[in-house]
Structure 1
Amino acid sequence: MIRNYLKIAWRNLLKNKTFSLINIAGLSIGMAVALMIGLWLRDELTYNKNFEHYDRIVQVMQHQTFNGVTNTQTANPWLMAEAIREKYGSDFKHIVQAGWNDGYVLSHDGKGQTRVGTFFEPGITEMLSLEMITGTRDGLKDVNSILLSETSAQAFFGDKEALGQILKLNNQMPVKVTGVYKDLPENSEFGNLQFICPWSLFLNINPWIREMDNPWRSNFTQTYAQLADHADLATVSAKIRNVKLEKVREEEKAFNAQVFLWPMANWHLYGEWKNGKNIGGRISSVWLFGTIGIFVLLLACINFMNLSTARSEKRAREVGIRKAVGSHRTQLIMQFFCESTLLACFGFVLSVALVQAALPAFNTVAGKHMSMPFGEPVFWLAGVAIILLTGLLAGSYPALYLSSFQPVKVLKGTFKAGRNAAIPRKALVVLQFTVSVVLIIGTIIVFKQIRHAQDRPVSYNREGLVYTFMSTNELRSHYDVIRNDAMASGAVTEVANASGPPNNVQMINNGYTWEGMAPGAQGNFAAVDVSHDYGKAVQWQVVQGRDFSKQFASDSNGVVLNESAVAFMQLKDPIGKTIKKDGKPYIIVGVVKDILMGSPYTPIFRTIWHIDGGGGNVFLMRLNPDKPTAESLKKLEAVFAKHNPGMPFMYDFVDAQYKLKFVSEQRIGQLSAYFAVLAIFISCLGLFGMASFMAEQRTKEIGVRKVMGASVFSLWRLMSADFAALVLIALAIAVPVGWFGMQRWLNSYEYRTDISWWTIALTCIGAMSIALFTISTQSIRAAMTDPVKSLRSE
């Protein structure tokens, strides 16, 4: 029986080639979008799940309240793991203090490579269930050891045995390879971890950590843990709540540090916090694209429903004859479902080919490394489910509608679909364009928000500004010599050093006080240590006082504030005023315009620049604008190679790093744009098919009207009016829905654009123009047909 249904379905598809091609094209594009989004969702939802102890791994985080605002952070004091172990160790299998993933120079035989790695306490190897290729998970117990990823070991030693080899870390610390582990999956928090060194080595390299007068004040490390099998997450999290509050000094208790555990399951998708409350994160993108995928596939199914029901009168005689010779309604329903499922099957095969071809470009836009999981049975089961679901969804309305025809009326020739029969089709067309227009509005607003943030004044000159980290002792101890050589080379016009690049807030310090400080205020500021030439290098804009200068010996205790800091302190005449940091006085020598260092979507943080401390670990260089960039970089490479032999000259452009701040929003915008284009294309395919069918149905009417003197324009208007009305209704629904949805999205940003009337107007005009163009291709063609040909059969 099924074989017979499929044979008849195949004949019907061949008989109606235009109908079949439009439906297969629409279904294949809809399925391709659903497949690509499905792959993206799979990657997002399985993030970190490759770890054996995924459901027991947590990160120790803390809330701190400054001036009535609660900030949530992953950074902790370096003694956090030890304090938790000491008091609550029985609730954990492992507690691990850790640094941050960063680029370090590893060298072998005088040749260096930059590799991303960090420092962990030994328990990390068991916690992450590292799959060791050589060596054991106990490799971090030796203070001068290093574990390499498989890729890193291959890069340094090729096919030679890596175990026991000696590398130099940042050209100063010899470390012995005690193990090689299999590369961690890319869709994980540690996917870029190319080497691991012991935490004890980090403490040896940075002796100042153990010498800190107040180790519980500074937050600069991370803490990970694995819960014991018997431990309950919420209970243990409540236990350790005050572990830091019990250690800090009396004056710091005002920040009310509250420690808690955040499970690995939430790290990736629920990473955003506002005033101490989790507000989601990437999960919103998961919901967004999941919804888009469902709707785009639904649009393709709507095309099938519309075209199938529009052809109802052509199929009516077939249904009448089948019923007259004894077919039951259930058999007819099965017949129509077989047709829709066969179409869905063809569409799926074509969609797989489309996804395979588009996946490299999709990965580039999405920032992923996804591939089609052909070897996984789950993929093929999902494919069968998609085919069946699409076939049932697309064929449901036509099957139920067409199978309900009365054979007596059909065979007597008295059957007419009537006006009411067109209502469902019209509703579906409205739904199609409503979804498409909402997607277009959303895409335009996303790009408008990105442009708004990109145009935000940064108050310094990013162009031609390059920085590199002082990753070795050679660089740190030869700063003045390197600066002089770089200036003498003509490659740069200014060189300075700082504790961080100008496009990032590296450290927030508290303990500042000033005259007239409001009671209860907490003096927390972004603090940057710089050299005297920093202002010239970044070309900041001094609005009061002056820049730092070597001509003033007193500048060693001088500070420059931004406008936000002055406003927060409520200083009317700040120049010459004294502020204190932990009791030590500093003189305000200048005020600069607010420099955008953090997120371009948030308010500028109050900032203080110090000369005290002598700068930091970042070389900041302004390239000579009169020289070619490549030539200048080559000269700088020679200067650094002279003082840091065997080590690569690794640098970043400040403007390039600034652009990375928009990557997340740009990805959302680009993906939304592609899906919006495909949605409108699918909708137009449906309109094209409907217009073709209507033109065919009204061929004789058009011929009569032409004979009676109707113009091409009047015939075009007659045939386009109904469709235009449907698109207008869709616009009336889509505009408020799109506006409300995007307004909610914009509200998640403190620095945001507005939804202007022209955005909505352009979207409406564009959607209407596309729809009219699609309809016109068929209506004008029908209107220009020779009436003799239309009427000769009469």
Structure 2
Amino acid sequence: MIKNYLKTTFRSLLKNRSYSFLNITGLAVGIACASLIFLWVQDELTFNHNFEKRANIYKIYENQTYEGKVSTFHATPGLMAKTITTEIPGIKSAARLSGTSASLFSLGDKYINEQGDYADKEILSILDIPFVKGNPATAMQELHSLVINETMAKKFFGDAEPIGKALKMNNDKEFTVTGVFHDLPKNSTLQFHWLVPLANIDHSQPWMTMWGANWARTYVELEPSANVASVNQKLKNYISTKTKNDNKTVCFLFAMNDWNLHDNFVDGKMSGGKIQYVKTFTFIAWIILLIACINFMNLSTARSEQRAKEVGVRKVMGAGRGKLIGQFIGEAVVMSFVSVVLAIGIVYLALPSFNDMVQKELSVNILEPGHLIFLFTIAIITGLLAGSYPAFYLSSFNPITVLKNIKIKTGAASGFIRQSLVVIQFSASIILIIGTVIIYQQIQHVKNRQLGYDRNNLIYMDVQGKMVEHFAAIRNDLNKSGVVENAALSDDPVLEVGSNTDGYTWEGKDATKNPLISWEKVSPQFISTMGMKLVAGRDFYADAKLDSSNVIINEAFARQMGKEGRVGGILRDGNKSYQITGIVKDFLYNDMYATSAPALFYCKEAENRIFNVRLKSDVNVQDALTKIGQVMKANNPGYPFEYKFIDDDFDQLFKTETLTGSLAGVFAGLAIFISCLGLFGLAAYTAERRIKEIGIRKVLGASVSGLVGLLSKDFLKLVCIACVIAFPVAFWTTHHWLQSYQYRIDINWVVFAVAGVAAMLIALTTVSFQAIKAALMNPVKSLRSE
């Protein structure tokens, strides 16, 4: 019997090839889209799952209050890790990381920059990193020991034994490889290729041993039985007990399980993060899947009425209603499984492009239980839903009625259901279209914002070797190259002013106010190299020593200082006084959506970490980079020329928003495509049912355009209803999303009008093809007796 049903199913599919193609393709595309999104979601939800003890691993964060606003930082005093282990019950172990940065490693004539950290040896046991070679318990005991990952070991040693071999770090000291660990997966928050004992640098500056200086990242492992709330209570004012002052610094534990998805803090409290985008993408996936399932059900129910005679014959031959129900549901389930198989093929084909879009290395393992359960569940549920209505409806036919060619009353219910499903499809599609446009507009709105400096033709390099000592000579050679406009040193890239302090005072300062101030140590050429505009005073002198007691501030800081925020005003930093020699126009850094925060610049070159270069606007970029590379290698031999564009860093600040917009745009297009497949099939079904009516109208003189309008208007009405439903939902959703940004666009009604018109034109184009085909048919054929 089952074999007979399968034969009947595949014969039906082959007989109605167009219908089968539309039905199976629509569902397959929907399942494939949802599957790709769920792969991304799975990757985000399993971040840091490579760490077996992740449930007990935490990072210590600090909340600091400035001007009544709480700011959250992840840097802590360097002394903290050692003392909390013995002074706070429940903490099993603690370790520090310096913060991932690039260092140059060399072996013979091989020089490679690798990302890594200075770390305490306890980090290996806390993270329980699996080693390929060496013993993690002893790998970082010696001061000049070095542990590296498999990829780095392969680069330097190939297939040779790396343990016991030495690598020179930053063309200075040699470190002995004592361990090789497995590469950390891409969905790990921590990404380091090497670890060196932090004791090599934790005393290199006097402030690194002070409780008031936050520079280390402190990680802790709690005892399995520890009470997190109790540990947090003891950590809360821990730093204050060491500094003996009321600086309102509050420490707390931030769980590893939250690092990836809940890393956004507002006013000192966890407030969303990437979890918002995971929810958004999950919602989009379900919407796409819903549209595809609706499409599948609509076409299945629409075409089912053509099988009335088949049902009549089967009933006359003795088929019971139960067997007929089983047959039709079985056919729908089989088609659903065919769609799933096709969807798997689409996923494998689309995955490389999808990985490029989301910048991940996702893979699909079809035999993974989770994936199998998802696909099997979708196939069964879709098949049951699509097959249930036609099964129960068709099995209820009276065989005498259908075999006598008496027209069966389809009833208003079936038509209403199909129309409602079309409305739902297009409502979801229109919402996605509007959302895509709003996201794009918001990103462009911020990107086109005045930054206060020129980010074009600006590159920067990490300071290596003797770049600071030889700065004057390097800058001179760069200027002679003919491709460089200017060059300057700074602590940080202009987009990431990372140093903050609350130790500044000035005449008339309100003692109750404690503003957060950002500062940078720069070379004299920094302001001009960045293209910043002075609104008052002068730039630094070419000789940095002449401005050793002077500073330049921005407008935001000048407003903060009141009457002292002027050229000639005096600013005190601890026991030292500085005179304000210039005020620059406000510029944006760190948060591109916020207003400019108070900032100042010291004229100091000794400890800079970034080498900034501005290219001339009329040069060929590749030629310019070649010449700059030659200058850098000549003046700083032994170090590779590696650079970054500020423009690229700027775009990376909008990575998540851009990804959201791209995905929403792609899947909005696919949602429309799937909806149109269904609309195409329904239009063909409608034209077929009304074929005699169309023939009679043509005989009576109806024009082709009139007949096309007649067949199209019902579908356009459905799209209009979809717009009425979609517009308020889209407005509420996008308005709610925009509220998370301080600097945002106003929602324009034109977006909704364009989306609605676009949806109607797409629907009209889809329906018109079938309508024109029916209108052009010879009425003699359509009116011929069966």
Instruction: Pick closer, same or farther for the CA change 1:62–1:332 going to 2, 3 Å.
Output: farther
1:59 maps to what in 2? 59
Distance 1:6 1:80 in 2: 71
In the other structure, the counterpart of 2:574 is 582
Contact 1:271 1:280 in 2 (8 A): yes
Matched residue, 1:106: 105
Equivalent residue letter for 2:218 = T
Q: Distance in 2 between matches of 1:724 and 1:567?
A: 58
Amino acid at match of 2:115: V
* CA–CA distance in structure 2, aligned partners of residues 572 and 395 of structure 1: 78
**Residue 541 of structure 1 contacts residue 592 of structure 1 at CA under 8 Å; is this kept in 2?**
yes
Q: Which moved more, 1:566-575 or 1:147-156?
A: 566-575
Q: Which moved more, 1:458-467 or 1:714-723?
A: 458-467
Residue in 2 that maps onto 1:762: 754
Counterpart for residue 718 of structure 1: 710
Deviation of 1:334 (Å): 1.9
1:149 counterpart residue number: 149
Match of 2:13 in 1: 13
Q: Percent identity?
A: 40
Equivalent residue number for residue 69 of structure 1: 69
- CA distance in structure 2 between the aligned counterparts of 1:499 and 1:699, rounded to whole angstroms: 77
Cα distance in 1 for partners of 2:461, 2:37 equals 38
8 Å CA contact 2:103, 2:169 repeated in 1? yes
On the 8 A contact 2:300/2:386 being kept in 1, the answer is no
| Kept in 2: contact 1:312–1:417 (CA 8 A) | no
Amino acid of the residue matched to residue 84 of structure 1?
I
Unmatched 5+ stretches in structure 2? none
Match of 2:411 in 1: 418
Instruction: Classify 1:368/1:709 alpha carbon distance in 2 versus 1 (closer, same or farther; 3 Å).
Output: same
Look up the equivalent residue of 1:200 and give its one-letter code: A
Q: 1:514 and 1:393, CA in 2 relative to 1: closer, same or farther beyond 3 A?
A: farther
Query: Is the alpha carbon distance of 1:701 and 1:414 closer, same or farther for their aligned partners in structure 2, counting shifts above 3 Å?
Result: closer
- Is 1:121 matched with 2:120? yes
1:522-552 deviation line (CA, Å, top 9, x unaligned):
1321101111111121121111222222379
Show CA shifts across 1:227-265 (max 9, x none): 112213233222322211212342xx24x1111111111
Q: Greater CA deviation, 592-601 or 261-270?
A: 592-601
Aligned match for 2:739, one of 747, 750, 759? 747
Deviation of 1:275 (Å) = 0.7
Provide the secondary structure at the position in 2 that maps to 1:270.
coil
Structure 1 residue 569: deviation in Å? 2.6
**How far apart in 1 are the matches of 2:14 and 2:62?**
66
Q: Secondary structure at the match of 1:93?
A: strand
Cα distance in 2, alignment partners of residues 249 and 547 from structure 1: 40
Q: Which moved more, 1:297-306 or 1:686-695?
A: 297-306
Q: 1:4 to 1:170 in 2, by over 3 A?
A: same
The worse-fitting range, judged by mean Cα deviation, of 219-228 and 642-651 is 642-651
Deviation at 1:630, TM superposition (A): 2.5
- 1:505 corresponds to 2:504: no
1:656: Cα distance to partner? 1.8
- Tell me how far apart the structure 2 counterparts of residues 4 and 34 of structure 1 sit (CA, whole Å): 33
**Per-residue CA distance 1:6-39 (angstroms, 9 max, x = gap):** 2322222222222111101101101101211121
Match of 1:260 among 252, 259, 281: 252
Amino acid of the structure 2 residue aligned with 1:741: T
Which residue pairs with 2:214 in the alignment? 219
Task: Give unpaired runs (5+ residues) of structure 1.
Answer: none
User: Bigger CA drift: 491-500 or 345-354?
Assistant: 491-500
2:445 alignment partner in structure 1: 452
Which 10-residue stretch deviates more, 621-630 or 228-237? 621-630
Counterpart of 1:92? 91
| Matching of residues 313-324 of structure 1 within 5 Å | 313-324=305-316
CA distance 1:552–1:504, shift in 2 (3 Å): closer
Find the partner of 1:549 among 541, 544, 558: 541
CA distance in 1, matches of 2:621, 2:165: 39
Inter-CA distance 553–108: structure 2 relative to 1 (3 Å threshold):
closer
Give the AA of the match of 1:133.
V
Letter in 2 for 1:221: A
Shift of 1:626: 4.6
SS at match of 2:238: coil
Question: Alpha-carbon deviation of 1:614?
Answer: 4.9
Aligned partner of residue 142 in structure 1, secondary structure: coil
Indicate if the aligned counterparts of 1:561 and 1:588 stay in contact, CA closer than 8 A.
Answer: yes
Counterpart of 2:567 in 1: which secondary structure?
Answer: coil
Distance 1:113 1:306 in 2: 60
* CA displacement at 1:420 relative to structure 2: 3.3
Asked if 2 retains the 8 angstrom alpha-carbon contact of 1:530 and 1:615, the reply is no
Q: In structure 2, which of residues 286, 303, 306 is the aligned counterpart of residue 311 of structure 1?
A: 303
- Counterpart residue identity of residue 194, structure 2: F
Q: In the alignment, is the contact (CA less than 8 A) between 1:716 and 1:779 conserved in 2?
A: yes
> In the alignment, which of 360, 365, 370 is matched to residue 373 of structure 1?
365
Tell me how far apart the structure 2 counterparts of residues 303 and 523 of structure 1 sit (CA, whole Å). 58
1:231 aligns with 2:226: yes
Kept after mapping to 2: 8 A contact 1:510/1:525: yes
Question: Partner of 1:245 in structure 2?
Answer: 240
Question: Could you tell me which residue of structure 1 aligns to residue 199 of structure 2?
Answer: 200
Helix, strand or coil for the counterpart of 1:594?
Answer: coil
Cα deviations across residues 553-603 of structure 1 (Å, max 9, x unaligned)? 753222111122222233486121112111422111111111122222222
- Partners in 2 of 1:403 and 1:34 — Cα distance? 34
SS in 1 for 2:201: helix
Report the Cα distance in structure 1 between the residues aligned to 2:334 and 2:444, rounded to whole angstroms: 46
- Counterpart CA distance in 2 for 1:154 and 1:356 is 30
Aligned residue for 1:132? Answer: 131
Question: What do residues 128-156 of structure 1 show as CA deviations (whole Å, max 9, x unaligned)?
Answer: 22221111102111111110100000001
Distance 1:400 1:283 in 2: 43
- Aligned Cα RMSD in Å? 2.0
User: In the alignment, is residue 617 of structure 1 matched against residue 616 of structure 2?
Assistant: no
Work out the CA distance in 2 between the residues paired with 1:21 and 1:552.
Answer: 74
Amino acid at match of 1:442: G
Poorly superposed stretches of 4+, deviation over 6 Å: none
Cα shift readout 1:316-353 (whole Å, capped 9, x = no counterpart): 33334444555444333321221111111111111111
Find the residue that maps to 1:753 and give its secondary structure. coil
> CA, structure 1 residues 397+293, in 2 after alignment: closer, same or farther (shift >3 Å)?
farther
CA–CA separation in structure 2 for the residues paired with 1:552 and 1:178 = 44
Deviations 1:597-655 (A, max 9, x none): 22222222211111156562211112234543333322322222233322111111212
* Residue identity in the other structure for 2:81: A
Deviation at 1:377, TM superposition (A): 4.3
Residue 508 of structure 2: aligned partner: 516
Report what 2:164 is aligned to: 164
Matching residue of 1:184 = 184
- Give the distance between the partners of 1:684 and 1:771, measured in 2 at CA: 7
Counterpart for residue 530 of structure 2: 538
How many Å apart are 1:216 and its aligned residue?
A: 2.2
Supply the distance in 1 between the matched residues of 2:652 and 2:754 (Cα, whole angstroms).
Answer: 29
Letter in 1 for 2:712: S
Cα distance in structure 2, aligned partners of 1:530 and 1:722: 69
State the partner residue of 1:708.
700
Partner SS for 1:139? coil
Q: Which moved more, 1:619-628 or 1:660-669?
A: 619-628
Deviations 1:59-108 (A, max 9, x none): 111211111111122111212212311301x4133211111111111111
The question of whether the paired residues in 1 share the 8 Å contact of 2:524 and 2:543 is answered with no
Report the Cα distance in structure 1 between the residues aligned to 2:97 and 2:565, rounded to whole angstroms.
Answer: 44
Give the distance between the partners of 1:657 and 1:592, measured in 2 at CA: 23
Contact 1:531/1:615 (CA < 8 Å) preserved in 2?
no
Aligned-partner Cα distance in 2 for 1:220–1:655: 28
Matched, 1:568 2:554: no
Structure-1 separation of matches of 2:730 and 2:358: 24
Note if 1:437 corresponds to 2:436: no
Matched residue count: 784
Q: Which amino acid aligns with 2:441?
A: K
- Letter in structure 1 aligned against 2:173: M
Residue of structure 1 equivalent to 2:338: 346
Structure 1 contact 105–113 (Cα < 8 Å) conserved: yes
What is the deviation of 1:305? 1.6
